[in-house]
Structure 1
Amino acid sequence: MGAHRHRRAGARPRADPRDREVARLPDRREGQLGRQARRRDRQHAHGGRRARVAGSAVAVRRDQRGFTLLEILLALAIVGALVVIAFSTVRIAVASWRQGEDRAEAYQHLRGVALTLARTVGGAYPYNAPRGDTPAASLLFGGSASSLEFVTQTAPFPGSVPIAFTAVVIELGTTGEQRGLVIRQRLLPNRNPFTDAVVVFNDPTLTELAFSYLDDSGAWQDTWDVETQKRLPKAIRIAVGGTLNGRAQALLPLTVPLRVGTEAQ
């Protein structure tokens, strides 16, 4: 191993005559490892790479695409149907609410009128005075199925001057200008307390009015004649009904007990 006489100056390796001479290789600098591919193989490789790139681009475009026209039309149709259903529901709810309000208003109106009548009838008093021009006094009370004449200490519509007794007529008008519930009153003492009474209230929406009178036996009578009874009834039952906004309403009858004048005179 090493050069012959390597310790001397100018030592050189000894050539072996049996060694073959090796041809010189040209210097091609740095290059890629391996054998260079043929042109057709290179085109095939580049084509596959381009195909893969194009395929990935198509996949990206497919993933990023928007809605089709059919999908948009279908979505708009669904939204329109939901809007129509919502508005229909709201319209039905508003109509039901209005009907409920009208019914409550009609009921409240009837109830207010019935309570006014009950308060007035509850103050009935056995007042004796002439009915007409004759001086003969009688008990001022008369009742039928649809009208009531009496004297009360609680006027339905008090005047500006406080008066102890007021003659009141409550009836159901069916003819003439005054239809429906009619209330007339006249201050006492006065002549013709019932026939000359002035109308103070008229409600055409009240189309039903009925009175019943309780006798000593506990039976209800449709009429009350003071000429034979000589006293006021034990109680009076009042039934009212009417039509408001085209809807018929009726209340349960109110029973009003009378406090004085129920004993025979």
Structure 2
Amino acid sequence: MKMKSNKRRGFTLLELLLAISISALVLVSAYSGLRLGWVSYQRLDGQIQSYQSGRSGFFRLAKDLGNSFLFDAGDDSRVAFSGTQGEMSFATLVRSKNKEGITYIEAAKVFYKFEGKNLLRAFLKGKALLNPGLEPEYEVFLSDLTGLAFSYASRESAGPSSLSWKDSWTDKTMLPAAVRLQLTQAQKGLPPVTLLKSIRLTNISLR
């Protein structure tokens, strides 16, 4: 009777060890699956945030360019469009608020500059835009950039499909037909995202 009891205990212990081993394997597999899913979610969420950030920046930039104009006061106070691959400045219309919190539209000179891994933005409003000696205070507009380039299209082109792009704009008498922005944005541990957008401009001059 004692021998049979010992055999049953040994068999039961073996089953218990097997059950524990199987449970451990199941838990490890489940943890690995959850961890992989969480890492994938973080990457996807990061890519979505990076894409949304880029799109939001494109929208703001397109709005500034869409409201751009040439300001010619007939003297040294002319505000012309100027652009290179890494910098751009022009006169535009922006929203402002007075001391009472009332929103109004006013003229401003907007500056964009690619520096380090950031696209910076600054502006001079009102009478300040006519003072060429004032230095604007830049703020980070877009971050985590690994590359950025502005390019400019001439109005001599016949149509959108035949636009001729160049890396700079120096003509002080007119606006470019369009501005193209190509940027590459990357967050740590994520593949880079490249966005490309062209914005058409209307040639408006204020005197």
Contact 2:57 2:141 in 1 (8 A): no
Alignment of 1:243 with 2:186, yes or no, is: yes
Contact 1:185 1:200 in 2 (8 A): no
Question: For 2:186, what is the secondary structure of its paired residue?
Answer: strand
Report the Cα distance in structure 1 between the residues aligned to 2:134 and 2:83, rounded to whole angstroms.
15
- Give 1:219's aligned residue: 164
Question: For 2:149, what is the secondary structure of its paired residue?
Answer: strand
Contact 2:92 2:107 in 1 (8 A): yes
The change in CA–CA distance for 1:128 and 1:200 in structure 2 (over 3 A counts) is farther
Report 1:56-67 matches (<5 A). Answer: none
- Give 1:209's aligned residue: 148
- CA-CA distance at 1:146 after TM superposition: 0.9
Contact 1:182 1:203 in 2 (8 A): yes
Report the Cα distance in structure 2 between the residues aligned to 1:80 and 1:139, rounded to whole angstroms.
72
Structure 1, residues 63-95: CA drift from partner, whole Å, max 9, x if none?
A: xx7853223322322222222211211111111
Q: TM-score when scaled to structure 1?
A: 0.62
Alignment of 1:118 with 2:82, yes or no, is: no
Alignment of 1:69 with 2:7, yes or no, is: no
Contact 2:177 2:200 in 1 (8 A): yes
Report the Cα distance in structure 2 between the residues aligned to 1:182 and 1:112, rounded to whole angstroms.
14
Bigger CA radius of gyration: 1
- Give 2:114's aligned residue: 172
Relative contact order higher in (CA < 8 Å, ≥ 6 apart): 2
Unaligned runs of 5+ in 1: 1-57
Q: TM-score when scaled to structure 2?
A: 0.77
Structure 1, residues 159-209: CA drift from partner, whole Å, max 9, x if none?
A: 3233431100111124xxxx6211110113333258432324454423432
Report 1:12-23 matches (<5 A). Answer: none
- CA-CA distance at 1:225 after TM superposition: 1.1
Unaligned runs of 5+ in 2: 99-103, 158-162
Report the Cα distance in structure 2 between the residues aligned to 1:213 and 1:168, rounded to whole angstroms.
17
